[in-house]
Amino acid sequence: MHDLVLRGGTLVDGTGATARTGDLAIDGDRIAQVGGKAGAARRDVDATGLLVAPGWVDVHTHYDGQVTWDPYLTPSSWHGVTTVVMGNCGVGFAPADPRRHEWLIGLMEGVEDIPGTALAEGIRWEWESFPEYLDALERMPRAIDVAAQVPHGAVRAYVMGDRGARNEASTLDDVERMAAIVREALAAGALGFSTSRTLLHRAVDGEPVPGTFAGEEELLGIGRALGQVGHGVFEMASDLAPEGSEFAWMEKLTQATGRPVTFACLQNDLDPTQWQRLLRLTEDANARGARIVPQVAARPTGLLLGLESSFHPFSHHPSFTEVAALPLAERVRRMRDPAFRARILAESPRSDLPIAAYIAASFHKLFPLGDPPDYEPAPEQSIQARAMREGRRPQEIAYDLLLERDGKELLYFPLLGYAEQNFDALRTMLVHPHAVLGLSDGGAHCGIICDASMPTFLLTHWVRDRRRGERIALEHAVRLQTRNTAALFGLDDRGALAPGLRADVNLIDLDALRIAPPEVVFDLPASGRRMVQRVAGYRMTIQAGQPIYEDGEPTGALPGRLLRGPQPARAA
């Protein structure tokens, strides 16, 4: 007798194969049967008219701190994610010199906009080395599976101290010691190594992430550790400028080690065709035997601007400082005062803040997000276009919108991935044969971005709702975030519906699947702020054979675990 059978569902197995109707049977933590009519079960679930798909494998998250206090890793698990990979972009919390705890928190807070007070309150620091960090994670209960990469920033500062933190050049001895730490971490179960090479990533003190300017000798010296151990991914966030020299060392590393190099591939307004050149470079390198994998997004990296966000169009106007610290209701009351409104609208933001100046000059890219949230708005929906139609200043419209819903309204500013104000470039990246889905940044950017719902968005927007261009087939959308992402990191025991594989499964009502607008909550340690995005339509999320959510409510089951290294598939 089977433990659980989902009967008569639409099976989308993660391989890209055509969806079919049938049963899915689970025995223990493994899938026992896919398709046909399964035998008797201790529990039957009617899946008629529902999608049955593998649990989502999200390979680009920043739950490195939250993983120590939140067994559910919300909001990702709300959205059907059953496996997360963290430690991306060169930032994380191990190895950790006991004298550098505050510095590591400041690095994560600056790069990923996670409240430092929450990290300081929530992290218990039961480790120093990376293997000890993994041991600590293994002792903690959790609902979903987690895996970690060893971050360049932490390793560099641990080995080089202040020299590493200040991005000074490394010596040969430094590189050898860093490589030894990475080998140790990989042997203990790290799934890879990550680094940051973008000037957008800075600690709270303004210093770029350690390793941002690392030379080829350091990158290849550390990267060789992956080849020596025989597993692991080399992940990076990079400006990829100049492209040729960056791709040269990337190809050299992957050719020398046999390990994949994965990088964030996004469209930016300053060079809106760079992504096309990056994909061509990837194709050429991979044709020569390299393993270079672009990580692409399902929607733009969009800033969410509101009165409770880290930033909005008036947050750096002089008059706003008078009300910034007030409770939201009182702040809204003051901002609705006509005299205060006139005063703040007559001001300009501080000139020393580039992002404030950029947004002030870009109302053509600022949109009301709405309910349901619209992430692919047409140009005529912009605040600039509305201002022209109504004969008003765009600042007036933005100000009034921010006060709607008692000050909880959000404005949407697609920072990356929206140069042509449509998703056509994104779609080309999503269907590219060398790309994998990433960049949800679950757990990060708590006050300004909320893209952990990206796995659900891939279904609601790309499969079902898109109106402004071509959609994506259901089978491909599922494969993008299951088999493809799992395979990149050697997680061969999951990411597909097949006998013998892990019973990580989503049961979804696609017709009813709906993403709510993001909202600000104060539920982190020390009442820290974060943005979350709720969802309806997941009928059941199953982890290792046990339902962890039913109709959006946690069941109390905590079958998740720490993953140590690659996970081979088990024979049926």
Mean pLDDT of the chain: 97
> Residue 331 and residue 309: Cα distance in Å, rounded?
13
Whether 243 has a pLDDT exceeding 90, the answer reads no
Three-class secondary structure of residue 31 per DSSP: strand
Residue by residue, what is the 3-state secondary structure of 115-133?
Answer: CHHHHHHHCCCCCCCHHHH
Q: What angle do CA 567, 475, 299 make, to 5 degrees?
A: 90
Residues 6 or more apart whose CB falls under 8 angstroms from that of 377 comprise 367, 412, 421
Three-class secondary structure of residue 44 per DSSP: strand
The reported pLDDT for the residue numbered 388 is 98
Mean pLDDT, residues 555-568: 99
> Residue 318 and residue 169: Cα distance in Å, rounded?
41
> Is this model's pTM higher than 0.75 or not?
yes
Whether 373 has a pLDDT exceeding 70, the answer reads yes
CATH 1.10.40.30 describes domain 2-54+502-554: no
Mean pLDDT, residues 366-371: 97
Three-class secondary structure of residue 8 per DSSP: strand
Same fold for the domain at 2-54+502-554 and the one at 57-300+418-488? Answer: no
pLDDT tens readout for residues 1-25: 999 999 999 999 999 999 999 999 9
Written as six digits, the tokens of 39 are 């035998």
In the numeric block, the tokens 């998703």 are attached to: 423
Q: pLDDT class for 572, splitting at 50, 70, 90?
A: low
The reported pLDDT for the residue numbered 153 is 98
The reported pLDDT for the residue numbered 240 is 87
Q: pLDDT class for 143, splitting at 50, 70, 90?
A: very high
Q: Kindly state the helix (H) or strand (E) to which residue 32 belongs, with its residue range.
A: strand 30-34
Across 89-93, 347-351, 468-472, least confident range? 347-351
Whether 455 has a pLDDT exceeding 90, the answer reads yes
Residue by residue, DSSP assigns 418-445 as -TTSSSHHHHHHHT-TT-EE----BT--
Written as six digits, the tokens of 432 are 């590219």
Q: pLDDT class for 100, splitting at 50, 70, 90?
A: very high
Mean pLDDT, residues 18-35: 99
Whether 356 has a pLDDT exceeding 80, the answer reads no
**Nearest Cα to Cα of residue 130 among 113, 106, 100, 151:** 151
Written as six digits, the tokens of 485 are 């992402």
Give residue limits of the domains in the chain: 2-54+502-554, 57-300+418-488, 303-412
> Residue 234 and residue 183: Cα distance in Å, rounded?
13
Whether 349 has a pLDDT exceeding 90, the answer reads no
Using CB atoms within 10 A of its CB, is residue 553 exposed (0-12), middle (13-18) or buried (19+)?
A: exposed
pLDDT tens readout for residues 485-504: 999 999 999 999 999 999 99
> Residue 314 and residue 330: Cα distance in Å, rounded?
17
Q: What is the edge-to-edge ordering of all strands in the sheet holding 56-58? A: 56-58, 81-86, 145-148
Mean pLDDT, residues 532-546: 99
In the numeric block, the tokens 């009182």 are attached to: 330
Whether 330 has a pLDDT exceeding 70, the answer reads yes
The reported pLDDT for the residue numbered 33 is 99
Q: Distance between the two ends of the chain, CA-based, in angstroms?
A: 16
Using CB atoms within 10 A of its CB, is residue 506 exposed (0-12), middle (13-18) or buried (19+)?
A: buried
In the numeric block, the tokens 């005063």 are attached to: 343
Backbone φ, ψ for residue 415 (5° rounding): -75, -45
Mean pLDDT, residues 174-200: 98
**Nearest Cα to Cα of residue 453 among 546, 375, 540:** 375
Could you tell me the fold of the domain covering 57-300+418-488?
Answer: TIM Barrel (3.20.20)
Whether 540 has a pLDDT exceeding 90, the answer reads yes
The reported pLDDT for the residue numbered 68 is 98
**Over pLDDT 90: what percentage of the chain?**
95
The reported pLDDT for the residue numbered 507 is 99
pLDDT tens readout for residues 105-140: 999 999 999 999 999 999 999 999 999 999 999 999
pLDDT tens readout for residues 256-292: 999 999 999 999 999 999 999 999 999 999 999 999 9
Q: pLDDT class for 415, splitting at 50, 70, 90?
A: very high
